[in-house]
Amino acid sequence: MDVLIAAALAVLQPHMLLIVLLGVTAGLFVGALPGLTATMALALMLPFTFTMDALEGLVALGAVYMGTIYGGAFTAILINTPGTPSSIATTFDGHPMAKQGRALEAISIATIASVIGGVVGVLFLLVAAPPLAQLALKFGPSEMFWVAILGLTLIGSLGTGSVLKGLLGGAIGLLIGTIGISPIGGESRFTFGWPPLQAGISLIVALIGLFVIPELLNMMRQGRAALDADTGLGNSGFRFGAAMTTVLSKPVNLIRSCLIGQIIAIIPGAGGSITSLVAYNEAKRGSDDPDSFGKGNPEGLVASESSNNVMVAGSMVPLLTLGIPGAPPDAVILGVMLLHGLRPGLDLFAETGVLANGFIISMGLAALMLIPVGLLGGRLIYQVIKRTPHYFLVPTILVITMLGTYALRNNLVDVALMLGLGMVGFVIRGLGLDAAPIVLGLILGTIAEQGYVQTILGGMAMDIPQLRLLENTLSQILIVLTVAVIGWTAWPKRTRKRE
């Protein structure tokens, strides 16, 4: 307890609070720009942290991380384009709310949900890091395979369209994921002898291509899906109190989303991209009125935004206790720690408890800081987007996304691929295919392939190596869950039809 107090005192210094404030603010704007990711923001911060002491550096990175993940919600709500992969699910209900003139309400709800998620993640980290770390270690290759399969079953129930179209989208995503050097084996696949394709299609390239470009083309075609079509609610301020009531009125949804966020955060490699999708899906499944999801139900927004902000501190569990980066931005934080001579592990808490706990507490502060920064920054972004005519807005966003895509890997090929996928995305959206299943297939296909091949390789001494997939208890639990989800997707529809 003494350590905690000392840590709190170390962080509650004026200059530390300033670092948190600046970090969150910078992160918010980076996150709001499609194509600029949390990893990139942290990498850009790296040189600045060299001039700081270890705690200051980590506090700055934590604050930027928190701000970025939250910032992704703005563009998701206002222009239907997720600023970061972790806000894909935010578009599902956030943007419909905006179209109904409830943009500011949606921003307020997203802010409150993010703050709660961020603080819950910090509490988990302070209280339950060691047992959670042990759980994280249970996810070996075969478990990762089943996690990916379980994730793929989401496709059946995600979105509003038909299951068949969802599965088709997922299959397209799986195929896109096979382009490039295979994660295991090292062969080049589908590169057609063209060296740049060795890098494969990055998730962000697909995300921007499939979500942003079709949306921009849509805006050009139809004018803007008007934020200005006021229903009289949009301009009535943030309705902070009302938003708070909305968030807290469904405590089960909030708690469930936070738990899902925390569990997925500790699974190494699954990362934040699918956290919000899983939480959203569970919110929909658990609701009395699942059909209202995707049409502006605040519950979906709460699920997405609370779960993805839990992940920020949540993914620090394997990082701080075991030195395992749970998500790509964590790799940068790990690098900074090693450079300052800090060795992640339980020793970190024993030997440098003030620093470790100070870092954790600062992330809680960063989460709280989202309220003023988010509400002010949110109003600014809202006003800018609302007042800019779509013939300025579309080219501006297009240029920003192209810059973002280029900056991702400093590769022009990525920009070309993004635009190409954008055309494909526009066409298939016209055919009723959603982008989310494609992106999900792309993320999970790689994880599944890796888990499968690693498991089989490990069983080379056995007669039937495939049996290793069924060996562990955790794998068996995941298989049961998968079967249950498939059953759930197929069953109620049939009963409904009979009625």
Does 467 engage in binding with other proteins (CB under 8 A)?
A: no
Does 395 engage in binding with other proteins (CB under 8 A)?
A: no
Does 199 engage in binding with other proteins (CB under 8 A)?
A: yes
Pick the closer one to other proteins by CB: 262 or 281.
262
Structure tokens at 58: 């980590």
Q: Which of 161, 286, 353, 458 binds other proteins (CB under 8 A)?
A: 458
Q: Which of 4, 8, 334, 398 binds other proteins (CB under 8 A)?
A: 334
Structure tokens at 277: 């999708």
Does 454 engage in binding with other proteins (CB under 8 A)?
A: yes
Does 403 engage in binding with other proteins (CB under 8 A)?
A: no
Does 495 engage in binding with other proteins (CB under 8 A)?
A: no
Structure tokens at 326: 């749970």
What is the size of the binding site for other proteins (CB under 8 A)? 59
Give 219-227's long-range contacts (Cβ < 8 A, gap of 24+): 219/79, 219/390, 219/393, 219/394, 220/390, 220/394, 223/390, 224/390, 224/393, 225/80, 225/95, 225/99, 226/99, 227/78, 227/98, 227/99, 227/101, 227/103, 227/382, 227/385, 227/386
Pick the closer one to other proteins by CB: 410 or 495.
410
Does 448 engage in binding with other proteins (CB under 8 A)?
A: no
Does 314 engage in binding with other proteins (CB under 8 A)?
A: no
**Which candidate, 72, 362, 111, 345, places its Cα nearest to that of 212?**
72
Pick the closer one to other proteins by CB: 196 or 223.
196
Q: What residues contact 181, with CB distance under 8 A and at least 6 apart?
A: 187, 188, 189, 198, 199, 200
Compute the distance between CA of residue 143 and CA of residue 124 in angstroms, rounded to an integer: 23
- The angle that helices 353-387 and 14-32 make with each other, rounded to 10 degrees, is 40
Compute the distance between CA of residue 437 and CA of residue 156 in angstroms, rounded to an integer: 9
Interaction pattern, residues 405-444, with other proteins; x per rule: CB under 8 A: ----xxx---------------------------------
CB of 437 to other proteins, least distance (A): 24
Pick the closer one to other proteins by CB: 261 or 451.
451
Determine the Cα angle at 389 with ends 387 and 393, to 5°. 100
Contact 158, 423 (CB under 8 A): no
Does 450 engage in binding with other proteins (CB under 8 A)?
A: yes
Does 136 engage in binding with other proteins (CB under 8 A)?
A: yes
CB of 470 to other proteins, least distance (A): 16
Query: How many C-beta neighbours within 10 Å does residue 261 have?
Result: 32
Does 359 engage in binding with other proteins (CB under 8 A)?
A: no
Determine the Cα angle at 429 with ends 425 and 433, to 5°. 105
Query: How many C-beta neighbours within 10 Å does residue 232 have?
Result: 7
Contact 264, 273 (CB under 8 A): no
Q: Which of 161, 286, 290, 323 binds other proteins (CB under 8 A)?
A: 323
Q: Which of 160, 162, 198, 383 binds other proteins (CB under 8 A)?
A: 198
CB of 115 to other proteins, least distance (A): 27
* Amino acid identity, position 126: L
Task: Please tell me the number of Cα atoms within 13 Å of 96 on its side-chain side.
Answer: 15
CB of 469 to other proteins, least distance (A): 13
Q: Which of 140, 161, 286, 290 binds other proteins (CB under 8 A)?
A: 140
Contact 355, 4 (CB under 8 A): no
Q: Which of 191, 218, 388, 482 binds other proteins (CB under 8 A)?
A: 191
CB of 176 to other proteins, least distance (A): 15
Does 178 engage in binding with other proteins (CB under 8 A)?
A: no
Q: Which of 5, 12, 127, 137 binds other proteins (CB under 8 A)?
A: 137
Contact 310, 265 (CB under 8 A): yes
Tell me the backbone φ, ψ of residue 102, rounded to 5 degrees. Answer: -105, 35
Contact 315, 327 (CB under 8 A): yes
CB of 6 to other proteins, least distance (A): 22
Pick the closer one to other proteins by CB: 23 or 437.
23
Residues 7-66 touching other proteins, rule: CB under 8 A, are: 39-40, 42-43, 46-47, 50-51
Q: Which of 328, 377, 404, 425 binds other proteins (CB under 8 A)?
A: 328
Does 470 engage in binding with other proteins (CB under 8 A)?
A: no
Interface residues with other proteins (CB under 8 A) are 39-40, 42-43, 46-47, 50-51, 136-141, 180-181, 183-188, 191, 193-196, 198-200, 268-269, 318, 322-325, 328, 331-335, 338-339, 341, 343-345, 347, 409-411, 450, 454, 457-458, 460-461
